[in-house]
Structure 1
Amino acid sequence: MRTGYSRFKNISARLTASWLALALLPALSVLTACGTSESNVIQGNRDKILHLGNRAEPQSIDPHSVASVYDHQIAWALFEGLITLNPYTLQHEPGVAERWEFSEGDKVITFHLNPNARWSNGDPVTAHDFDWSFRRALNPKIASPMVESLYYIAGAEDYFNGVDTDSLGVTAIDPQTLQITLKNPTPYFLDILATMAVAYPVHRPTVEANGGADVRFSGWTRAETFVGNGPYRLSEWKLQQHLAVVKNEAYWGADKLGLEGLIYYPTTNESTEEKMFRTGQLHYTASVPYNKLPSYRAAEDARLRSHPLAGTGFLAINTHRPPLDQLAVRRALSLAVDRDSLAENVLTGTVRANARFVPWTLPGFENQVSTAADIEGARALLAEAGYPNGEGWPGLELSFPHSGSSRKSAVALQQMWKDALNIEVTLSSMEWQVYLSNYYESDYQLAAMGWVNSYMDAADSLRQFVTGDPNNTTHFSNARYDDIMQRLAPQAADRDERLLLMREAEELMLAHLPAIPMYTQASQHLVHPSVRGLPPNPLRYYNFRYVALTNE
């Protein structure tokens, strides 16, 4: 997933903390304790209400329209897919499906649904709900930002493109049995079902009564009309203030939930969020200001949680925009970046420099290439492109979302390019939604981005550069790359052959450089000692069935 939004075109999967912060929050309303002398944390521990920063105002809570990690963190509370993950081990656990089995060479998966699974209005959750929901998610009118995650299902891409709507590999055999047929054996498909909201069911009668199946951003996601099947249900959504959920008493595991509810705050400013945590208004922060991290680390403050992610911070390049249409210019910019200095000095050691696109946290990609700058090589390439010592340079704009950390990184890059290449780069900071809109319309030259995987496989890192992928705003297109990602790797005879193909795909991407990788990301959170069940993991995945509060 982007640490942002896809196909809004789509930030998938998950944009990263260092580039994600948004506009300043009108903070007064959230810094008070709702008119009482007790803090949110004290009240929350007593009433079992978790208060957490969630960085951004949700784009949507319709699971077929969400894409950012922050919107997924809400979807994981409101909906449940066929599978869930154990947040400590990332092993598969039952969701709506009690059990499942593979057949026909692992291409067919049969899911047996929990007969006690219920929607929040009491209706049973059936295999027909999933069948209908998969078809809605693949409806091009919905323009689901994460729709490509379903293309592993036989017939799914043809269904989305209107080529064949009769051969989708999803069948409700009976109300409690769902069968999914894949194009090829896909070892991480169960992870997709667990972590990607696009694979979650929606309540058909509610959707159809509030605009219909073809309408995106319709009224069914309002608190007064909402029906979900997750452990919690929507209670209140006040724009730019908070989104509250309460226990779904109809949920099949409601008696085992450790919380009565959660309140998400759009903590768009990192410093405000950290202050909210210190004053007892939050149990959990989405991030930590970089300038505060050294003091938390020096004090060995147990409330600071840091963990490497399966994610990459990078600069997306619009390869259709001069001068970035020249490979020599793209390579010169990449070689001039001192990734080690950016990671250690600018980002205070919170990330690990990486010149590969696939994060080192993924199996098979632990070995790194040099992250050192090559100033002479960068200058030679710039001269080759027709700009010796920056002469005749037409200018370049680096776009990034509002936030102190994003600006700090952008200013550092601007100075590196000035010092090494004698070129001017203009910085353009904008409000998050505007930034995303521009990004997914390819209305940028250079754009600061990030991606956190939804599953521990390089395919999730690299699929965004496939021709026609909703996340591919760079205009990169390579026939061999597409063939590897869409045909050869999925059909590989074994894991070793597939890994070699993934490495070849990454080398092709780096040779053409539609994006400049900077570092492997890490999560940084402040967590109150009373919180249980929110362990760090490389996917930044939360299973709210595990979360509880003590009276500490």
Structure 2
Amino acid sequence: MRRFVAGMLAVLMLAAVGCSGRSSSGSQEMVIRMNIGTNPPSLDPRVTTGLPEAHVEIALFEGLMRLDEKGNAIPGAAARYEVNDDATVFTFYLRDGLKWSNGDPLTAEDFVWTWKSVLDPLLASEYAYQLYYIKGAEEMNTFTSDPKWENASDEEIKAEFERLAQNFGAVALDDKTLRVTLEAPTPYFLSLTAFHVYYPVHRASVEANPEAWFRNPDTLVGNGPFRLVSWTDKDKVIVEKNPNYWGANEVKLDKIEFYLIEEESTATTMFENGELDIIESGVNTAELDRLKEQYPNELKILPDLGIYYYLFNVEKEPLNDKRVRQALALAIDRNAIVTQITKGGQVPAYALVPEGIPEGNGDFRLNGGDFFQEDVEKARQLLAEAGYPNGQGFPTLTILYNTSEGHQRIAEAIQEMWKNNLGINVQLTNQEWGVYLDSRSTGDYEIARAGWIGDYIDPMTFIDMFVTGGGNNDTNWGNAQYDALVNTAKKSADAAERYKAMHEAEAILMDEMPIMPIYFYTRVIMVSEDVEGWSMPLTSPLNLRDASIKK
């Protein structure tokens, strides 16, 4: 999942709202106000890719399973499940009386229809590949890549899609029973069903207004613990308790207000003034030392499963030369970035996959080791071999980042390092979150800031991002050997073979260097001592389903 925040930088600030509440009517409501840092481009869980929108979606929707505070998959919309002996067939039994937020009954067919819609090539969901574990899903989503479909009409594509969908491995046996047949055993499949691309959406609402159903409280019909009240661009999204949620009696909050403030200094000041209760994104990293001292009981630095990195658009010269990409990666001081700029316990990254993912009795990252270290002399040599001795003749490239003071500080530091170490100049430009995502996905950039949080606890959540043509591969890089190794790891039931293939794939990626790892994330959070019941598993957005204020 794409991370919006920078620097330390997923700082969650959770504080008491008090029993007096904050409703405009003066009634005593339990309300939490959280900054998510930017305006979500969408709240359609089938197509979104970033954390800002995920924080809202986890309040509005729920998958078959959900994650507890330790990241374990526990029953969500499904009351229970069964799995066959070789772990290729899961049967989910929905809870009795499940309803959408508008009161309509929610059935197993709603999940099947939603998953099919994710795979529809006309939707162009970047996360469709996360359903490829289901039998028949990949062919349903990718058949249009065959040149013979290049000039096909939408009607022709829909007809072929429906034909292929007859073999889809997800089937509603009745209103309450869903059988899912996988292509191969997938150890993290249960966790995937808690991920947003597996959330169900309300078919009638989507079909009535396909482009904007998620914008309006009357048409955003969800099945989560909260329902949409309002969405004001560049201000806030407000949700309230959903009385039709199966676990409504467990939900203690009346409302959540998601603020969309991009300026870190503004968000931090608002928190300190009591105007915000949570900052998921937007703590001023320049103030982190003071905040540590001033809020010793509230400030916590926790492990995270994510990486902050730069993308190289390999179709742009001179970034189409591997030696140039390697030179740029070798010429920055990651330790200086994490100690002088982000200051939140981040770890310099010399690989793609962070620590924290088990491999047998060990750890995938520790077993694989680092792939490189800073080496300015080698970087200069590589740049000279590519035809740019001492940076001479090297074109002025541009670093793109989404608007954030933290991202800007990091980009400025890298700009200076490349100037001092390689003699090259780069420019900086920033864009609002949605525009920035569009620029990346269309290849309208040269170098771009990126971040990724694991969607489940397995190396594959990082490795499969960079397959050729992958929905989250914005580098335009592809490698057939890499693709084959990823496919082997996905299809193999042998753990040793899986990990071996993923280590080899990561080695190819780090040699080709279409991305430049910078650091592995931590979660720097501030939690009011008056708040309890919130959870933040490694692979999940902040979840306020069970949050409350001490009385």
Deviation at 1:504, TM superposition (A): 0.9
**Residue 346 of structure 1 corresponds to which residue in structure 2?**
341
CA distance in 1, matches of 2:543, 2:98: 17
2:87 aligned with 1:103:
no
Deviation at 1:497, TM superposition (A): 2.5
CA contact (8 A) 1:383 1:389 kept: yes
Say which is worse superposed, 318-327 or 144-153, in terms of deviation. 144-153
CA gap of 1:44–1:70, structure 2 versus 1, over 3 A, is farther
CA gap of 1:493–1:189, structure 2 versus 1, over 3 A, is closer
SS of the counterpart of 1:252? Answer: coil
Moved over 4 A (4+): 38-46
CA contact (8 A) 1:120 1:251 kept: yes
Counterparts of residues 126-525 of structure 1 (less than 5 Å): 126-162=107-143, 164-194=164-194, 196-208=195-207, 210-211=208-209, 215=210, 217-219=211-213, 221-287=215-281, 288-299=283-294, 301-363=296-358, 364-367=363-366, 368-369=369-370, 372-486=373-487, 488-525=488-525
TM-superposition CA deviations, 1:360-416 (whole Å, max 9, x none) = 232233424277421111111111111111122122221112221111111110111
Deviation at 1:454, TM superposition (A): 1.1
Structure 2 residue identity aligned to 1:510: M
TM-superposition CA deviations, 1:123-151 (whole Å, max 9, x none) = 22111111111111212222223111111
CA distance in 2, matches of 1:255, 1:285: 27
Say which is worse superposed, 235-244 or 448-457, in terms of deviation. 235-244
**Residue 68 of structure 1 corresponds to which residue in structure 2?**
50
CA contact (8 A) 1:335 1:378 kept: yes
Structure 2 residue identity aligned to 1:241: D
Deviation at 1:536, TM superposition (A): 4.0
**Residue 29 of structure 2 corresponds to which residue in structure 1?**
47
TM-superposition CA deviations, 1:95-118 (whole Å, max 9, x none) = 110111111511110001101221
Deviation at 1:550, TM superposition (A): 2.0
User: TM-score under structure 2 normalisation?
Assistant: 0.89
CA contact (8 A) 1:343 1:349 kept: yes
CA contact (8 A) 1:312 1:357 kept: yes
Deviation at 1:349, TM superposition (A): 4.2
CA distance in 1, matches of 2:316, 2:452: 23
RMSD: 2.3
Deviation at 1:20, TM superposition (A): 8.7
TM-superposition CA deviations, 1:495-526 (whole Å, max 9, x none) = 23212211111101001011010110122233
CA distance in 1, matches of 2:115, 2:68: 24
Say which is worse superposed, 220-229 or 319-328, in terms of deviation. 220-229
Structure 2 residue identity aligned to 1:197: H
Deviation at 1:41, TM superposition (A): 10
**Residue 18 of structure 1 corresponds to which residue in structure 2?**
7
CA distance in 2, matches of 1:112, 1:257: 23
CA gap of 1:282–1:43, structure 2 versus 1, over 3 A, is farther
Deviation at 1:64, TM superposition (A): 1.3
CA contact (8 A) 2:533 2:548 kept: yes
Deviation at 1:93, TM superposition (A): 0.9
Structure 1 residue identity aligned to 2:393: G
TM-superposition CA deviations, 1:312-356 (whole Å, max 9, x none) = 110100111111111111111111111111111122244111111
Q: Aligned residues: percent identity?
A: 36
Deviation at 1:165, TM superposition (A): 2.6
Structure 2 residue identity aligned to 1:504: E
CA distance in 2, matches of 1:45, 1:148: 46
CA gap of 1:226–1:393, structure 2 versus 1, over 3 A, is closer
Deviation at 1:439, TM superposition (A): 0.9
Structure 1 residue identity aligned to 2:466: F
User: TM-score under structure 1 normalisation?
Assistant: 0.89
Say which is worse superposed, 168-177 or 427-436, in terms of deviation. 427-436
TM-superposition CA deviations, 1:211-262 (whole Å, max 9, x none) = 3xxx3x3335401333211111111112222111111111111111121121
Counterparts of residues 78-89 of structure 1 (less than 5 Å): 78-87=60-69, 89=70
SS of the counterpart of 2:437? Answer: helix
SS of the counterpart of 1:225? Answer: coil
Deviation at 1:543, TM superposition (A): 3.5
CA distance in 1, matches of 2:34, 2:65: 25
SS of the counterpart of 2:165? Answer: coil
Structure 1 residue identity aligned to 2:89: V
CA distance in 1, matches of 2:203, 2:317: 47
CA distance in 2, matches of 1:540, 1:18: 19
CA contact (8 A) 1:120 1:228 kept: yes
Structure 2 residue identity aligned to 1:491: K
Deviation at 1:431, TM superposition (A): 2.6
Structure 1 residue identity aligned to 2:392: E
1:90 to 60, 71, 76: 71
Deviation at 1:419, TM superposition (A): 1.1
CA contact (8 A) 1:312 1:521 kept: yes
CA distance in 1, matches of 2:386, 2:177: 60
Say which is worse superposed, 277-286 or 38-47, in terms of deviation. 38-47
CA contact (8 A) 1:339 1:371 kept: no
